[in-house]
Structure 1
Amino acid sequence: MSKLLIVESPSKAKTLKKYLGKDFEVLASYGHVRDLVPKTGAVDPDHDFAMKYEVIDRNARHVDAIAKAVKTADAIYLATDPDREGEAISWHIAEILKSKKLLKDKLIKRVVFHEITKNAVQNAIEEPRDISMPLVNAQQARRALDYLVGFNLSPLLWKKIRRGLSAGRVQSPALRLIVERELEIEAFKSQEYWTIHLESAKHQHVFDAKLVQLEGKKVEQFTITNQAQQQEVVGKLLAVSAGKTTVSRVEKKQRSRSPAAPFTTSTLQQEAVRKLGFTTSRTMRVAQQLYEGIDIGSGTMGLITYMRTDSFSLATEAVMQIRDYIKQNFAAEYLPKSPIMYKTKAKNAQEAHEAIRPTDISRTPASMRAFLTDEQFRLYEMIWKRALACQMTQAKFDAVSIDLAVGSDANLFRATGQTLIFPGFIAVYMEGVDDEEEEGESKLPHLETGEVLAVQKIYGDQHFTEPPPRYSEASLVKALEEYGIGRPSTYASIISTLQDREYVVLDKKRFIPTDVGRVVNKFLTEHFTRYVDYGFTANLENELDDIAEGEREWIPVLNEFWQGFNNQIHEKSNVERPGVEMLDEACPKCGKPLQSRLGRFGKFIGCSGYPECDYIRNPNANANNNEPTVIGQEPESGKDILLLNGPYGPYLQIGLPEADSKKKPKRVSIPKEIPVSSLDMETALKLIALPRDLGQHPETGKKVVANIGRFGPYVNHDGKFKSIPKSESVFDIDLARAIELLAQANAGAAPIKELGNHPDGTGNIAIYAGRFGPYVQHGKLRATLPKGQEPETLTMEQALELLSAKAAKDAPAKKAKTTTAKKTSSTKKAATTTRRKKASAGESE
């Protein structure tokens, strides 16, 4: 009996072929095989949201290969990824095969496995099922909703704001989160407050206590708000203390901390951002590689379970294996008496997948190190440790709280401390945190109630309230999950879209909305309030989950959404253009009022009399364009740090040129990634300090430098340059990371994927990451990959087609270039002759 297994990726196909043997032919679909026709009418609300699909051009050859193989197969197994997307891909393949009338008298089944190991794959083949239409319809409904929003709302943004903008059902609420946080920061007014502290010691063990009660009243955050108050309070306490303090209360208790649950998609993304410095998209790309399989010497093996999941649950076999590993490698007290079970909070947790875990806990990170790239190793190590730690005992602390009375019990200082007495799971893994001070370990001396100690000093400590922090990738993912916006598998694409559309920039690993992002958000929140509402978006996600569960039909859900949304689109088609603000300032050129407007590169100030008057200026510059803005003083020289505008954009300069000096003042361009509107003294000083000397290269002893150039941030060593990725900062990059990047440059830039030798034997073909996206290269010929084409899925055949098309396109251009070159050469000769004639006549140029 001839059997055909269809999967999504070619790397997975190779692994599964080895597991299944000669009875199976295994082919890859290379991702999605069909998508909506990219034009108006692809989803027809008037006919039950009928959807017009077409085969994706880049995958047409793979669809043909599948169809050809189906003709000779008796049984077809659809083994695409175990989620809604994978279910939909299987359905699309089946629909294409039906339309070609290739399924008559053939068995077609869906198989699902959550890890790519031999046992898991063979068990899945033995227990096939039919395609789940509730899952398919949930994915179709999501795709239709995204299409209806994109194809109807985006054109309105083009008309009212500027061309090229987009709005998304999930992307827009995510943008709203970032903009609202920025507005909150801008509106924040810092308040001064003071805390009062007492320093004492016992047996040379110095410790600090904080005032919690003053004259019988509880001390709040704003009880003491200025220096005069704190001086008065400190003076009184010193006077009544007479240099002594009495221990009035000692409370001891044992605290414990439980391990974090094993990774879900969301928590994996958050921890990879915090601990590894990865972006969410990089995290998912590396996790996909670990899931699909790594050659570990004895064969290709999937090292982790499926990485798109909301579930905390682990298979019983996996839990028992982890417990056995702990038993063999740790003392008895590290193993709980019974397995620890974690309850999933999310509804419809990605079709009851497992949490993300190693497929075999005995494959330690150390034993896998030789087979993994650096980023694969770091992510695998984190997943492995988290899975192991989740089945270990709690960490135990001795916590002590002590009250010290000064003068009487009406004035109390409190000292707290904790000591780790048993590490438990902390011996393996500790979860990271965002924007919070992690409670550290501090030890207090042994004290008894009634004990009298000497007061070493009583002092005040000044503080100022701080605004809420901007979102990092980790905290944004956490917020999206808490609000129920989107699903974890979509977070990476949401964040990428916001950056690609230039709605936000990532500065110092924090999101800042651009002028464009602010205007788009303002327009959507004012005119499409319901559709960027967090509750509405979350409720719609729940309805999609209900469809997946078979509890709701998808067409009524779409219809309910469309009726209100379509009416809103028509109502708002004539609203005023946003982003235009009249200023109480006259144009210095013609006298008409100036206005703030949104242009291609953000906000600018221009004359309301345009096009008759063409006066414009940067909103962050002074009214007189020749007048610089003072940011602050440069500490070493004491000269002003000036913000100016040049022909190539804004830049910083230290001081003005001196009349009698030929030496030019230091200047540094402000990179596009740093909005001028958010430029502060701290950032200005960092820019002025460039280039940064990172240290000496261990191989050459020559220095490694980080700087910003014409094409953005880079590292430099011995004449070799390498761009710093957008997700990293020129201000934060260290020597180790710089050396890693330079190694890629020295290797001629490490390819994303090697495709092998050209069929005609003329050299290697490989895929590289370029400034404008991934490209395939053969010799000196480079061809950019089509938008949406994942580098990992590009085949040799597709690469040859791209290179051939590029060569054909460049052929006439090269010919023209040669002619131009000849003309240029002649022109140069003529120019040289002219210069010689001028020189002989005594003319100067």
Structure 2
Amino acid sequence: MKVVIVESPAKIKKISSYLGKDFEVLASFGHVRDLPAKDGSVRPEEDFAMSWEVGAKANKHIADIARAVKNADELILATDPDREGEAISWHVLDVLRKKKAIKKDLPVRRVVFNSITKDAILEAMAKSRQIDEPLVDAYLARRALDYLVGFTLSPILWRKLPGSRSAGRVQSVTLRLVCDREAEIEKFRADEYWSVEAKLAQKGKSFLARLYSVDGKKTDKLDIKTGENAAELKKIIEAGNFNVSSVEKKPTKRNPYAPFTTSSLQQDASSRLGFSPSRTMQIAQRLYEDGVITYMRTDAVQMSPEGIANARSAIGKIYGDAYLPEKARIYQSKAKNAQEAHEAIRPTDMFKKPEDLHIDADQQKLYGLIWRRTLASQMRSAEIDRTTVDILVNVPGRAVELRAVGSVVTFPGFLTLYGIEAKSDEDEDDEDSRELPALAVGDKPDLQSVDIEQHFTQPPARYTEASLIKKMEELGIGRPSTYATTVTTLVERDYVRLEGKALHPEDRGRIVTAFLESFFTRYVEYGFTAGLEEQLDEISAGVLDYKQVLRDFWKDFTGATEEIKDLRVSEVLDALNDLLASHIFPPKEDGSDPRKCPTCGTGQLSLKLGKFGAFIGCSNYPECKHTMQLSDAATGQSSEAAAGDGVLGTDPETGEEVHLKSGRFGPYVQLGEGKEPKRSSLPKGWEAASLTLEAALKLLSLPREVGLHPETGLPISAGIGRYGPFVLHDGKYANLPDVEEVWQVGLNRAVDLIAQKAAGGFKRGGGATVAAIQTFEHDNGPITVRAGRYGPYVNQGKVNATIPKDIKPEDVTLEQAVEWIAARAEATGTKVKKSPAKKAAAKKPAAKTAAKKPAAKKAAPKRTVKAEDVPF
């Protein structure tokens, strides 16, 4: 038996059917081990020795692989055809050797295939090789660099910038791109300009011509600055006669786009389909595992000879030979050393149209995009006749010239299948898309109207996820396999936020970027990061030694971090105040000092660092307690409101004022101004603008005592915490489903919730407990319906299955729960164990039967019940 190791269990069935009964295919379920998230996992003092740890979930998969390999005739490592795939094969083999699960003479070989088709699999099996050590070295260097940067910079950030989350080699540079673009937008000042356009007609057919030159000088887009100037030019044109002075017809060609890389697929799927990059990769992964497209993590644009031949054949059959160029089109990668796979993303069978596949709607959309782009890349160019017509405006004493531009597609070529990307609003009236009437020199078109229009220059657009990935690729930052996850990490760390499709930097992200630019300038430079990527490529090509690259980097990096360790907080603040001045202290319209404290009138506002992050404070503290959020300062909102002067009223019991304030975690209410005043955050869904004194007093009355537990005699209280409303008993919490229930929950209800929590709850990795909504008795153990952090789910033993979104957790039936758990157990390879009660019951009949048999005969051997024999 030959054992084949792949990454995803979704591939097992298809690959097994291609290889036959002599092969056993198992999955590693991705990476089997990683660097532990603690100091010492990479040790520069030991020449960058690295400690790896097998993940808890991976232990079972490794054990299954080890058992299979024990009696195998051959081990075949068939993980994905990129740097990560090579690393996974290396990890699996290294773990098996350390477990002594591999016989010394066991043949081990590495195979790679770019698509999951029978031909590709069998061809790969015939062309095996050893693990590519330089490729593994490049992976080790990348992991070591990311670890060393993250675990060195992040603690410095936590000490110098409270409230910061983390820093990373690629993450921080990508964040700088977003912050730099925002700074460009803030500094942008719009310029006014006017356009002048005449509507003319020749033999009854209208066309547009724009002002081209005045008195022999060409008029550029921004030359006409005022409405008065535009109106004067309008009058001149209206008073003149028109004469066609030249007509130039020039045939041009528009060439098709190259086939998709990871980056270009994410960009086009975003603009044409509205998919986020992470969603695109999820769908592409499924298409690859289903065998309908080639591997989807690649920076290569070329196709294999077989792929090109298949594409040209499909074009000829579907669209005709007229759409085929004489020779196949060959595209070259821009990347100096493309390592993520050696072929572009394409369908495995070009004759399979999107409508021919039985796949879900989103998969069909993405497959259709890939299919059209691939075929279009091998089609003939579009042929276009571009016409430029110059028209003199005959006015005494002035020389004014108009120009009309139009084009006609004479042969659509690839445009039949894959059109040009839609223009932006600014280019909505693209001249090349206009069609002109037949015009000749000497023609005298008639004037219908002259239009002038005011415009303003626009700031650069904020990055979208797709355009940011495009920029990362242009600069050489990151890799195709990391683009989407890098952007997602920035959003999850609250460094940037998504509004629609646009990425906006949060204040936390801008402060981190400013800090790194001030004190770790080199390590957030685009060129430096791109240079490291080139070195990693040279390692993978076997040109550079990865340990030497790490030594050179670490020597300079540790020097920079040593300098910053003793940096005083005041120095950090001075640098941040200077670098972020235009953002947090924008100029005022009246010309007054934007940093003058509005409360005391004498202090200077400046950036301050608190336990939960940065804020704006007065230099006269503690005499002046004026504070405000960075976002309030940047948007010019009232500092008085941010300072906490919003008084809702007076508490009738204490006589103290009730304030509405804005804090690091949003709005909150506060009673009085004492040393440790009572405070309460506004629950989710409560709006500060509509908050009343009565509602504020209700919040300040929490926590409230519900009563004494009938069994323990200890108090039960109700309140609102970081994770929502709760009841508390003996240090243990149980969630309340609704905020209003905090003030209504009675003793019986509270005792019941606490009991449910104790019976059906379980501990997550982070320590939070999830209570059971309802419980079903079942032969294989109780099934509980639970409300988890990521949505409701059902649980039985070690199996958790998500409840579909259209079903309420309280409406779940036992039959549904059993079905979901069985499907989840099969998908994950988890065995469903019998409950102790059923095991005991299963033994009793066997014992009675044995007792009735003659003593001379042996009792029948006990039958072991396997998981696959269980009916549920």
Under TM normalisation by the shorter chain, which class is it? 0.7 to 0.9
Aligned-residue offset at 1:508: 2.4
Return closer, same or farther for 1:600/1:510 CA change in 2, 3 Å cut-off. farther
* Alignment partner of 1:272 is 2:274: no
Aligned-residue offset at 1:763: 10
Aligned counterparts, 1:512-527, within 5 A:
512-527=504-519
Aligned-residue offset at 1:238: 3.1
Return closer, same or farther for 1:539/1:594 CA change in 2, 3 Å cut-off. closer
Please give the secondary structure, in 2, of the residue aligned with 1:39: coil
- CA distance in structure 1 between the partners assigned to 2:211 and 2:391 by the alignment: 9
Deviations for 1:645-683, whole angstroms, at most 9, x for unmatched residues? 7899589xxxxxxxxxxxxxxxx9899xxxxxxxxxxxx
Do the aligned residues in 1 keep the contact of 2:162 with 2:614 (CA within 8 Å)? no
Do the aligned residues in 2 keep the contact of 1:308 with 1:350 (CA within 8 Å)? no
Deviations for 1:307-366, whole angstroms, at most 9, x for unmatched residues? 111111111122111111111111331111221111111122126511100011122100
Return closer, same or farther for 1:771/1:458 CA change in 2, 3 Å cut-off. farther
Aligned counterparts, 1:21-32, within 5 A:
21-32=20-31
498, 501, 505: which is aligned to 1:509? 501
Aligned-residue offset at 1:206: 1.5
Do the aligned residues in 1 keep the contact of 2:224 with 2:230 (CA within 8 Å)? yes
Deviations for 1:750-806, whole angstroms, at most 9, x for unmatched residues? xxxxxxx9995689999x9x9954775338999699xxxxx9x986697979999xx
TM-score, normalised via structure 2 length: 0.71
361, 365, 375: which is aligned to 2:362? 375
Look up the match of 2:427. 437
- CA distance in structure 1 between the partners assigned to 2:789 and 2:336 by the alignment: 39
Do the aligned residues in 1 keep the contact of 2:380 with 2:414 (CA within 8 Å)? yes
* Alignment partner of 1:386 is 2:373: yes
Look up the match of 1:204. 204
Please give the secondary structure, in 2, of the residue aligned with 1:407: strand
Aligned-residue offset at 1:59: 0.8
**CA RMSD, 1 decimal:** 3.5
Task: Return the letter of the residue paired with 1:264.
Answer: T
* Alignment partner of 1:234 is 2:234: yes
Deviations for 1:189-221, whole angstroms, at most 9, x for unmatched residues? 111111222221123321111111101111123
Aligned counterparts, 1:45-444, within 5 A:
45-103=44-102, 104-163=104-163, 165-239=165-239, 241=240, 244-293=241-290, 302-350=291-339, 353-368=342-357, 371-407=358-394, 410-432=399-421, 437=427, 439=430, 441-444=433-436
Identity %, equivalent residues: 44
Aligned-residue offset at 1:233: 2.5
- CA distance in structure 2 between the partners assigned to 1:779 and 1:5 by the alignment: 32
Task: Return the letter of the residue paired with 1:97.
Answer: L
- CA distance in structure 2 between the partners assigned to 1:531 and 1:197 by the alignment: 50
Please give the secondary structure, in 2, of the residue aligned with 1:208: strand
Return closer, same or farther for 1:771/1:215 CA change in 2, 3 Å cut-off. farther
Do the aligned residues in 2 keep the contact of 1:395 with 1:426 (CA within 8 Å)? yes
Do the aligned residues in 2 keep the contact of 1:606 with 1:617 (CA within 8 Å)? yes
Do the aligned residues in 1 keep the contact of 2:288 with 2:295 (CA within 8 Å)? yes
TM-score, normalised via structure 1 length: 0.73
Aligned counterparts, 1:492-571, within 5 A:
492-571=484-563
Deviations for 1:803-839, whole angstroms, at most 9, x for unmatched residues? 99xxxxxxxxxxxxxxxxxxxxxxxxxxxxxxxxxxx
- CA distance in structure 1 between the partners assigned to 2:310 and 2:783 by the alignment: 44
Aligned counterparts, 1:650-799, within 5 A:
760=779, 772-773=789-790, 777-778=794-795
Corresponding pairs, count = 669
Aligned-residue offset at 1:396: 1.5
- CA distance in structure 2 between the partners assigned to 1:773 and 1:608 by the alignment: 44
Do the aligned residues in 2 keep the contact of 1:505 with 1:514 (CA within 8 Å)? yes
Aligned-residue offset at 1:398: 1.8
Return closer, same or farther for 1:263/1:802 CA change in 2, 3 Å cut-off. farther
Deviations for 1:236-256, whole angstroms, at most 9, x for unmatched residues? 3333x1xx2000111112121
Task: Return the letter of the residue paired with 2:139.
Answer: Q
Task: Return the letter of the residue paired with 2:360.
Answer: T
Task: Return the letter of the residue paired with 2:41.
Answer: A
Return closer, same or farther for 1:14/1:553 CA change in 2, 3 Å cut-off. same
Please give the secondary structure, in 2, of the residue aligned with 1:167: coil
- CA distance in structure 1 between the partners assigned to 2:344 and 2:644 by the alignment: 56
Return closer, same or farther for 1:155/1:794 CA change in 2, 3 Å cut-off. farther
Do the aligned residues in 1 keep the contact of 2:382 with 2:414 (CA within 8 Å)? yes
Aligned counterparts, 1:583-622, within 5 A:
584-586=595-597, 588=599, 594-597=605-608, 604-607=615-618, 616-618=627-629, 619=632, 620-622=636-638
What stretches of structure 1 of length at least 5 have no aligned partner? 294-301, 630-643, 652-667, 672-709, 712-756, 786-790, 805-845
Aligned-residue offset at 1:48: 1.5
Aligned-residue offset at 1:63: 0.8
Do the aligned residues in 2 keep the contact of 1:420 with 1:441 (CA within 8 Å)? no
- CA distance in structure 2 between the partners assigned to 1:106 and 1:73 by the alignment: 8
Do the aligned residues in 2 keep the contact of 1:776 with 1:782 (CA within 8 Å)? no
Please give the secondary structure, in 1, of the residue aligned with 2:482: helix
Do the aligned residues in 1 keep the contact of 2:340 with 2:480 (CA within 8 Å)? no
Task: Return the letter of the residue paired with 1:437.
Answer: D
Return closer, same or farther for 1:342/1:50 CA change in 2, 3 Å cut-off. same
Return closer, same or farther for 1:5/1:591 CA change in 2, 3 Å cut-off. same
Do the aligned residues in 1 keep the contact of 2:200 with 2:448 (CA within 8 Å)? yes
- CA distance in structure 2 between the partners assigned to 1:317 and 1:584 by the alignment: 67
In our comparison, the structure showing a higher alpha carbon Rg is: 2
Aligned-residue offset at 1:433: 6.1
Do the aligned residues in 2 keep the contact of 1:605 with 1:617 (CA within 8 Å)? yes
- CA distance in structure 1 between the partners assigned to 2:24 and 2:797 by the alignment: 37
Look up the match of 2:742. none
Task: Return the letter of the residue paired with 1:451.
Answer: D
Return closer, same or farther for 1:760/1:576 CA change in 2, 3 Å cut-off. farther
Deviations for 1:457-500, whole angstroms, at most 9, x for unmatched residues? 33322111111111111211111111111112210111011111
Task: Return the letter of the residue paired with 1:605.
Answer: I
Return closer, same or farther for 1:213/1:145 CA change in 2, 3 Å cut-off. same
435, 457, 464: which is aligned to 2:456? 464
Deviations for 1:16-43, whole angstroms, at most 9, x for unmatched residues? 1121111011111111111113211111
Deviations for 1:424-467, whole angstroms, at most 9, x for unmatched residues? 11111125368573746211111110111222233322111111
Look up the match of 2:639. 623
- CA distance in structure 1 between the partners assigned to 2:833 and 2:188 by the alignment: 55
Please give the secondary structure, in 2, of the residue aligned with 1:416: strand
Do the aligned residues in 1 keep the contact of 2:339 with 2:537 (CA within 8 Å)? no
Deviations for 1:409-437, whole angstroms, at most 9, x for unmatched residues? 93210000112222111111125368573
Return closer, same or farther for 1:373/1:761 CA change in 2, 3 Å cut-off. farther
Return closer, same or farther for 1:574/1:612 CA change in 2, 3 Å cut-off. farther
Task: Return the letter of the residue paired with 1:202.
Answer: Q
- CA distance in structure 2 between the partners assigned to 1:584 and 1:281 by the alignment: 42
Do the aligned residues in 1 keep the contact of 2:599 with 2:624 (CA within 8 Å)? no
Return closer, same or farther for 1:53/1:264 CA change in 2, 3 Å cut-off. same
Aligned-residue offset at 1:112: 0.5
What stretches of structure 2 of length at least 5 have no aligned partner? 578-584, 586-593, 646-659, 669-684, 689-722, 725-775, 803-820, 835-872
Do the aligned residues in 1 keep the contact of 2:163 with 2:614 (CA within 8 Å)? no
- CA distance in structure 2 between the partners assigned to 1:590 and 1:197 by the alignment: 54
